[in-house]
Amino acid sequence: MIDLKLLRKQPEIFYESLKKRNQTTEIIDQIIALDKEWRSYLNQVNNLKSKRNELSKNVARLKAEGKSEQADELITQSKTVGDEIADLEAKQNELEAQMLSLALYVPNTPHESVPIGKDETENVEIRRWGEPRKFDFEPKPHWDLGTDLGMLDFDKGSKLSGSRFTVMFGQIAKLERSIAQFMLDVHTSNGYTEVNVPHLVKRETITATGQLPKFSEELYTCERDDLFLIPTAEVSLAALHIGDVLDEDMLPLKYTAFTPCYRREAGSYGKDVRGLIRQHQFEKVELVWYAKPDNSFDALEQLTHDAEKILQLLGLPYRVITLCTGDIGFAAAKTYDIEVWLPSYNGYKEISSCSNDTDFQARRGNIRYRAKDGKMNYVHTLNGSGLAIGRTLVAIMENYQNPDGSITVPEVLRPYMKTEVIK
Partner RNA sequence: GGAGAGAUGGCCGAGUGGUCGAAGGCGCUUGCCUGCUAAGCAAGUGUGGAGGUAACUCCACCGAGGGUUCGAAUCCCUCUCUCUCCGCCA
Catalytic residues: 263, 278, 350, 353, 391
Q: Which residues pair with 422 in a beta bridge?
A: 407
Binding mask 93-122 for RNA (x = CB under 7 A): x-----------------------------
Q: Does 57 bind RNA (CB under 7 A)?
A: yes
For the bound state, the minimum distance from the C-beta of residue 5 to RNA, rounded and expressed in Å, comes to 6
Contact with RNA (CB under 7 A) among 56, 98, 147, 281: 56
For residue 55, give the nearest of 89, 82, 90, 85 by alpha carbon.
82
Count other C-beta atoms under 10 Å from residue 265's C-beta. Answer: 17
Using the rule CB under 7 A, is 43 a contact of RNA? yes
61 scored as a contact of RNA (CB under 7 A): yes
Instruction: Find out whether 109 and 333 touch, Cβ atoms under 8 Å.
Output: yes
Sign of CA dihedral 112, 118, 121, 122: negative
- Single residue of 9, 15, 47, 87 touching RNA by CB under 7 A: 47
CB of 32 to RNA, least distance (A): 13
Binding mask 342-381 for RNA (x = CB under 7 A): --------------------------x-----x-x-----
146, 329 in Cβ contact below 8 A?
Answer: no
The stretch near RNA (CB under 7 A) out of 22-30, 79-87, 233-241, 267-275 is 79-87
| Listed residue (378, 337, 375) closest to 361, CA to CA | 378
User: Given the complex with RNA, which of 53 and 193 has the nearer CB atom?
Assistant: 53
Instruction: Please identify which residue in 37, 63, 173, 197 interacts with RNA, judged by CB under 7 A.
Output: 63
Q: Is 50 in the site for RNA (CB under 7 A)?
A: yes
Task: Give the binding range for RNA (CB under 7 A) out of 78-86, 106-114, 122-130, 399-407.
Answer: 78-86
Q: How far is CA 400 from CA 118, 178, 272, 412, in A?
A: 37, 16, 21, 13
Query: What's the first-to-final CA gap in the chain, in angstroms?
Result: 51
- Give the binding range for RNA (CB under 7 A) out of 58-66, 150-158, 205-213, 390-398: 58-66
Interface stretch with RNA, choices 61-69, 113-121, 325-333, 399-407 (CB under 7 A): 61-69
Query: Burial level of 224, CB count in 10 A (0-12/13-18/19+)?
Result: exposed
52: contact with RNA by CB under 7 A: yes
- Binding status of residue 42 toward RNA by CB under 7 A: yes
Residues paired with residue 80 on neighbouring β-strands, in sequence order: none
- CA atoms of 409 and 417, how far apart (whole Å): 8
- CB 246 within 8 Å of CB 370: yes
Amino acid at residue number 122: E
Helices and strands (H, E) in the chain, number of each type: 13, 18
Cβ pair 264, 217 in contact under 8 A: yes
**What contacts 72, CB < 8 A, 6 or more positions away?**
none
Q: Is 79 in the site for RNA (CB under 7 A)?
A: yes
CB of 243 to RNA, least distance (A): 9
Strands 245-247 and 368-370: parallel
Which residue from 10, 46, 161, 295 is in contact with RNA, where contact means CB under 7 A?
46
* Residue 59 Cβ vs RNA, minimum distance, rounded to whole Å: 4
Binding of residue 53 to RNA (CB under 7 A): yes
Contacts for 282 with CB less than 8 Å, ≥ 6 apart: 260, 261, 276, 388, 389, 390, 391
SS3 30: helix
Give me the least distance between CB of 6 and RNA, in Å please. Answer: 11
Residue 39 binds RNA, judged by CB under 7 A = yes
CA distance 6 to 368: 18
Residue nearer to RNA on the CB measure, 217 or 249: 249
CB of 181 to RNA, least distance (A): 22
Contact by Cβ (8 Å): 383, 355 = yes
For residues 328 and 188, give the distance between their C-alpha atoms in angstroms, rounded to a whole number: 28
Q: How far is the CB of 363 from RNA (least distance, A)?
A: 10
Task: Pick the piece of the chain touching RNA (CB under 7 A) from 50-58, 160-168, 262-270, 397-405.
Answer: 50-58
Q: Are strands 318-322 and 124-129 parallel, antiparallel or unpaired?
A: antiparallel
Sole window of 15-23, 72-80, 266-274, 402-410 interacting with RNA (rule: CB under 7 A): 72-80
Give me the amino acid identity at 90: A
Q: Which is nearer to RNA, 59 or 307 (CB)?
A: 59
Kindly tell me which residue out of 49, 133, 278, 292 binds RNA, with binding defined by CB under 7 A: 49
Q: Interface with RNA by CB under 7 A: which residues?
A: 4-5, 39, 42-43, 45-47, 49-50, 52-57, 59-61, 63-64, 75, 78-79, 81-82, 93, 368, 374, 376
